[in-house]
Amino acid sequence: MAPDRYQPVEVSRRIDAPAELIFGVLADPGMHTTLDGTGMLRGAVTTEPVTSVGDVFVMKMYYVEHGDYEMNNHVVEFELDRRIGWEPEAGRGHPATAAGSTEPTRWGHRWSFVLLPAGPRTTVVTEIYDCSRAPEEARTGMQGGRVWLKGMSETLDRLASVCAEKAAGRE
């Protein structure tokens, strides 16, 4: 199937928190394990918040077929309080980085969050996964990204809970 036949998958949720609070949580790699709805994240190697396109943050991961490994996430979208996105690259311990591997370390697939204010203390958050540039075998195995929809919904639920607690602490 041609790359243009794969469309990004997305999940949206209304969150009772201002966009700047939500964005701050998303830009903090240390919060990603708390937010993760896939169960694959194990911790942040990078402790500094993301501040611009070009930043790279490293996350510890686990996947049954790979064991423990790291992903280097290259920030490719950054609009303060509105949009943040990154393209993962296989890092330390990932099979693609093993000697002799011919697997690409960076597929061009992308995770993004778009924040749309819907009032002074409410934001619609959309998580988007785009695998249109990933290798055909990976796109097929991920059903064009649809395998992540449940985890994306869970991530937004967790984001809403974390932000509700933070918003309550601000008042």
User: Which residue segments constitute the domains of the chain, with CATH numbers given?
Assistant: 3-170 (3.30.530.20)
Predicted confidence (pLDDT) per residue in 36-57, tens digit: 999 999 999 999 999 999 999 9
**Which pLDDT score is estimated for 4?**
54
**Which pLDDT score is estimated for 1?**
42
Name which of 106, 39, 40, 41 is nearest 76 in CA terms: 106
DSSP class of 106: B
Name which of 81, 80, 86 is nearest 57 in CA terms: 86
Query: Is the Cα torsion angle 137, 138, 141, 144 positive or negative in sign?
Result: negative
pTM for this one?
0.91
The partner residues of 115 in beta bridges, in order of sequence, read 125
**Which pLDDT score is estimated for 23?**
98
**Which pLDDT score is estimated for 5?**
67
Q: How far is CA 170 from the centre of its chain?
A: 26
User: What are the Cα distances from residue 124, in Å, to 12, 63, 66, 104, 156?
Assistant: 7, 30, 35, 35, 10
Name which of 120, 124, 94 is nearest 107 in CA terms: 94
The residue ranges of the chain whose pLDDT is under 70 are 1-5, 170-171
**Which residue has tokens 């243009």?**
4
